[in-house]
Structure 1
């Protein structure tokens, strides 16, 4: 329905009407009915001034950004309005704070406000009191509804019920997720490409799109979609609800203490160890995209042994016999480092020899730094898990105090926290590490990197190298240090 509005030029009576599409279908609160009731009220009061209509068709009262409400406020601020009428309070706003804020504006400009259904007028003290009481009661009822909805959602989550659209790799049957194998295999391939092949979000999206594999929405894959897949805890069997605040137009991630987390509630596509390794990888500082696609084997990995700056590629030699060199960027761009330049082909050969030596010497006794690094990372992961579990338990205590969950749910959360702390106290750091697994994983990745250097193009070989190598340092001539990454 389209409405024509008169220009407000002098002090007038404003009639504000609003309806949302679902509201009209459910309750029959039509715009025409509101207008007729307000005009009849004006006639009954003996007001001869022709009222001005402000009509918001299809707008929710939860949002204050409405075209005709904004136009009404502008007219109020210009001093063109003397009185505002609505059929009910919720036509103006369903939120008490917003309602009181609007009435404060009206009073600031000497504009009275009346709701004809609730029979009050802000020109009188009793009208203002009635307004605040009615608004407070309405706000209380909405909060109770929100709490009941939250309680029902928590119960559903604890029962393993999926509350939204199923993620890629699953189908929804009777509100429960079941694995859809054709998509689940794609999920496993994506995790493998990221973790074991060193391919980034963009590269993974490109591979899926080139293969003609569509997303859940039957669209091409984006970087964001790949990242969401790699960080979705549902794939390891964990149901997480209430992560995102949807009460505002911009969706923000809530503090993890507010999340509803239920472990081992869903069918597993990615084992927990692999999922945790991927999370560790996504939280690390990534190599710059330009360095990842560099046609030089150690671009983005090589560091100066004197100042720690990155080493970039350059060229040296005569006009007819030029060759690649790695140069310290601080020396090249600032002159603050005295490091010399190194022939790139020689450095890359030293690197290959160093990788081979590492492969030959890996063992629990002969390679203790490997275990030390893995142990340190494991301790950090355990500490983070305990912090998260404590925050989650604190949130459950608050929920139990508010009557949102049962004592049984609170006790289960407490037992999980106590078990996690007990395991961390009883086991030594080394015993928590699967040493044979770490050794096998490192050997396999080094071997894959060595094979890739001889067979694959440089960008693809570099992708495999960076799954096991964190950085490469040249302290001096023919001396090279390779720092491994243990995920």
Structure 2
């Protein structure tokens, strides 16, 4: 008679009552242990390890006891998982499918003491999924009840927890004014109403040595630091200070005492409103400087957007970032932004036009004469890097190709007229090396499998040094359409076709025409 190793898993959603000598987890364990003893004639025995999760929701897989259980199943230490009730294992259909997949992969099964299931039959699996559907429904209904309770409580002005704002403490689940901190809040609002600028108020607060609220989190001190822009702006927008509770865009009279009078708060809000237009929320340089984040000088130093104003006119530049300039090193590079962006757009449009093979491909016009946002999107899609040299402009493209042009009159440290000459190197695309290596790996896997016809798939995969699933994916890729292979070798594959996307592709069609329709469009 073979020995069946049984692991007992127990769970309780809340930690209430777990400090008792005999709690809910113990009751579940005893029931499961009694069931295992009743099956002793079948060779069943209880493992020494206990897998308990007290105070963990069944809607999440992030449970220490469950993680240890799945690890032991994968290690071949468990044959049967015994649970008191199916919803103790999980309340999520998706999580249940993952758990069952691990069990089936390693030859383990599970038993529910209070519910009879035979997952080897289609009817048993159907009943199991129906029961899990109800367990998930119960969990979702419970979550809805909690949300409704929070909304109703906030409508009554009750404090429902969360980060305690500066100026208040929590006493018996209610907000109570902390006078020392309240003075800081009033001082900040008054200063902002007078200065009219968040950034200026931040500098003022640091001169006054004002700090954010000091809190304790997990036994460690948090906060108590000088104000920064985000923290100060959040404070100036908090309606708690006028005795209100906010919930999903609505404000309700709170049960706590106000720190500020409404006139001062409204004055601060009015000033913030003048500085919160959609245009001002978008960083100016990020929207206007089309090459931001992708332009470098020939020494590998990033060039950042900058601007000057002369006679009321704004002039934009790209300048080597000051933090990357070393003493005794090369001088900073500085180029006018607009001519450089125009040259890059023209060269990229020329490159794309040369590769048009059908009317559907014609899209280079999007780079010239369109709005800055559209052109920025096109740059991000096609350009990886722009390098400014003393005598050469290099544009590295996402398709693996490189555009190079002669460049004249680039002076260090000062802007100069930009003159872009004829191309110095052909812009023939180079194949994506990661994709090429993947195809080579797939071809080797196919040849290895054909040379070992008597071995099982698992054995061939092990000898090849890959997992079974990984080896199967490589075999499928070895039968790619010749047209797809040619496109990859020549670097003409779509941008979304990467080594990672190809490896993770499920359900690769067998017909070459279907493969090409899926991968080359």
Q: Tell me the TM-score range normalised by the shorter chain.
A: 0.3 to 0.5
Compare relative contact order (CA 8 Å, sep 6+) and give the higher one, 1 or 2.
1
Normalised by the size of structure 2, how large is the TM-score?
0.44
